[in-house]
Copies of this chain bind each other. A is one copy, B any other.
Amino acid sequence: MTKFKVLLFLLLAFFQAKAEDGYDLWLRYKPVDNVSLKAEYVQALKAYSAATDKSPTIQVAVDELSIAIKGLLGVELKSADQVGEQTLVLGTSASSPYIASLKLQKSLDPLGDEGYMITTKKGNVIIAANTDIGVLYGTFHFLRLLQTQQSIKKLNITSTPNVKLRVLNHWDNLDRTVERGYAGFSLWDWHRLPGYIDPRYIDYARANASIGINGTVLTNVNANALVLTPAYLEKVKVLANVFRPYGLKVYLTARFSAPIEIGGLKTADPLNTEVQQWWKDKADEIYNMIPDFGGFLVKANSEGQPGPQNYGRTHADGANMMAAALKPHGGVVMWRAFVYSNEEPDDRAKQAYNDFKPLDGKFDDNVLVQVKNGAIDFQPREPFHPLFGAMPKTPMMMEFQITQEYLGQGTHLAYLSPMYKECLDADTYAKGKGSTVAKVVDGSLNNHRLTGIAGVSNIGTERNWTGHLFGQSNWYAFGRLAWSHGLSSEEIAKEWIRMTFSNQEDVINPITNIMMASHEAVVSYMTPFGLHHIMGWGHHYGPGPWIANKHRADWTSVYYHKADKNGIGFDRTASGSNAVAQYFPEVASKFGSLEECPEKFLLWFHHVPWTYKMKSGKELWNAMCYEYQHGVEEVENMQQKWQSLENEIDAGRFEQVKSFLKIQKKEAEWWRDACLLYFQTFSGKPIPEDIPKASQTLEYYEGLTFPFAPGN
């Protein structure tokens, strides 16, 4: 067996290096194995027609088509001398005389700057849009049809994005470490820019364009002002040039104190005219180099970052100052609502609302307020943030986390689309029933045209981009939902699986099952019933419910779970912090009622006795024990399902996921054992006999340290 393992390892090494290693993401373009569909595709795609004088974006679309058709169908896609039948025509009415001749403009008008249509006309497939980038998006959609083996006989598709700014946030530092990054280090090789363009930048842009992401914030929200100096802007410019054909705009994080740190001023007071002029000059300098620069993302007065409150000014004063500098150039400010006051609040969950709600109506029209999905911090499960719906005059930009800071980091399989959807589909009741978070974010509830959604990236230097292969599905799902939040998580999963693994049902189904159950599994073995923020201190790796006595209470675990002899949970009803009152009445009364509150949020809003009878009939303590155990069992199920695919999936990707599932299983048990032993010191009740005994003592778990856990 040893020999065979060695042999296997060697081959695996080659296989990973040479064959499938995840680098190609969902753009693998492997041969279509369905014979009749392949024939249909080949028949329909004899040639293509695009403008002869191609813009860089149209050139990119044609290149992608050529590579894809060669891979999928094994044929060269030729340029048509003229449009006959079975020609793929792509372009705008302006660039393609043939498309102009089809007189589609009435149908094209509503598609705006980024939408597209894919339609069959006179035996030809037409990909048409009002802009080149619309054509590129349509091209990727068309290729997705082939990759997922859909018929292309009678196409009649139109698509427009729900949200205008669909942006990745990279928490990447200038030294290439990535805050909360678990996929290696930053893609941006700042030191060798501007002289060296890593080809990976192009594949990054391709991947984003393929799912409609149109912006990237290159730098960490915990910002370094140096990125705004000329030497770094030269580097940013090169990235912007590389990304431009793919419709991907570059944004930077702006450190509020930059005028002091790199500008030589004595203050960063937003009402100081020198400061205002400094930002205006800086914006002019940037746009002179990068005419389509997107704008600034700002974290101010939070976790030690400087901000307008340092000068007795409001967040609106700070945001508007930057907005005024960017406005002449068409740039925007994305101002984060994730704030921490210097004082310890009675309830951390209430702070963003308290700070921002009074400012509604005070922000300039090129400012978005960027709000995390929940009021604490990217927990495995949070109720939606009460700011959604609470600031009708202000564009509210959603901030999701794609990287898995609190969700198993680099090795846990957790498909996050259900988590995103749970938030987007939540009803704020801001304007009565049906006022979903999605309608707040897409601007339809309050008629905002400037809308946005951000995802904190899980991308790094690892060969497969996201460290865990299934991290790719979260990047993918984020992009797809940002474009079209009505898609279901299962639809998105199946698209991704078809493109990433196989179009065979016996592969699609088990992987869909794995993915759809995965997020709930993590919640169960980490933070069931609304528990939150009980991870290891600082790095957030592994369980740390015992974390206490840190320099601020709201960075400890005991602050959040409030376990005692009587029970567990944070009373956020009127008898406690009354955070529920930040929601609209219908929501507040539901969350505030012990009986009506969904059990998944129970301990988020209520301090509940250990003996409380759950809907299952079990007492809370026992229910919690079984829920932790259930999480572990769900990982075992995922392992079994994955194992069944051994002969269906290439060895390189199969083995890596298998290794990670094994780690996940071990860590799920660690979470279960550490949390139950710890909470047992309060409940004083036995852990049910049919739950496996912890392999170590509570003291052992409490003593574990991870000084080099990544992402910290």
Q: Report A's interface with B, CB cutoff 8 A.
A: 2-4, 6-19, 23-24, 54-56, 59-60, 63-64, 67, 174-176, 184-185, 190-192, 195-197, 199-200, 202-203, 206, 226, 242, 245, 410-411, 461, 463, 650-652, 656, 659-660, 662-663, 666, 706-710
Complex: A191 Cα to B59 Cα, angstroms? 42
6 A-B interface contacts by CB (under 8 A)? A7-B63, A10-B202, A13-B203, A14-B67, A15-B199, A176-B185
Find out whether the CB atom of A23 lies under 8 angstroms from the CB atom of B15.
Answer: no
> What copy number does this chain have within its complex?
2
Find out whether the CB atom of B410 lies under 8 angstroms from the CB atom of A6.
Answer: no
Q: Within the complex, what minimum Cβ distance (angstroms) separates A219 from chain B? A: 12
Complex: A410 Cα to B192 Cα, angstroms? 8
Contacts of A67 in B (CB 8 A): 14
Find out whether the CB atom of B200 lies under 8 angstroms from the CB atom of A3.
Answer: no
Closest to A55 in B: B3
Q: Within the complex, what minimum Cβ distance (angstroms) separates A252 from chain B? A: 16
Complex: A197 Cα to B10 Cα, angstroms? 12
Q: Within the complex, what minimum Cβ distance (angstroms) separates A201 from chain B? A: 8
Find out whether the CB atom of B24 lies under 8 angstroms from the CB atom of A659.
Answer: no
Find out whether the CB atom of B10 lies under 8 angstroms from the CB atom of A15.
Answer: yes
Find out whether the CB atom of A708 lies under 8 angstroms from the CB atom of B11.
Answer: no
Contacts of A706 in B (CB 8 A): 191
Contact of A11 among B11, B56, B190, B709 (CB under 8 A): B11
Contacts of A16 in B (CB 8 A): 199-200
Contact of A17 among B9, B23, B411 (CB under 8 A): B23
Find out whether the CB atom of A60 lies under 8 angstroms from the CB atom of B10.
Answer: yes
Find out whether the CB atom of A10 lies under 8 angstroms from the CB atom of B410.
Answer: no
Contacts of A200 in B (CB 8 A): 13, 16-17
Complex: A709 Cα to B226 Cα, angstroms? 13
Contacts of A14 in B (CB 8 A): 11, 18-19, 67, 203
Known: A192-B410, A708-B191. A199 touches B12 (CB 8 A): yes
Known: A56-B2, A185-B184. A19 touches B10 (CB 8 A): yes
A11-B63, A184-B185, A196-B660 are known; give 12 further A-B pairs, CB within 8 A.
A3-B8, A7-B651, A10-B63, A11-B14, A13-B206, A16-B200, A191-B706, A191-B709, A195-B411, A197-B659, A461-B461, A463-B463
Find out whether the CB atom of B174 lies under 8 angstroms from the CB atom of A6.
Answer: no
Q: Within the complex, what minimum Cβ distance (angstroms) separates A695 from chain B? A: 15
Closest to A409 in B: B191
Q: Which 7 A-B pairs have the closest CB atoms?
A: A13-B202, A195-B663, A16-B199, A13-B199, A14-B19, A7-B11, A6-B56
Contacts of A199 in B (CB 8 A): 9, 12-13, 15-17, 652
Find out whether the CB atom of B11 lies under 8 angstroms from the CB atom of A19.
Answer: yes
Find out whether the CB atom of A6 lies under 8 angstroms from the CB atom of B663.
Answer: no
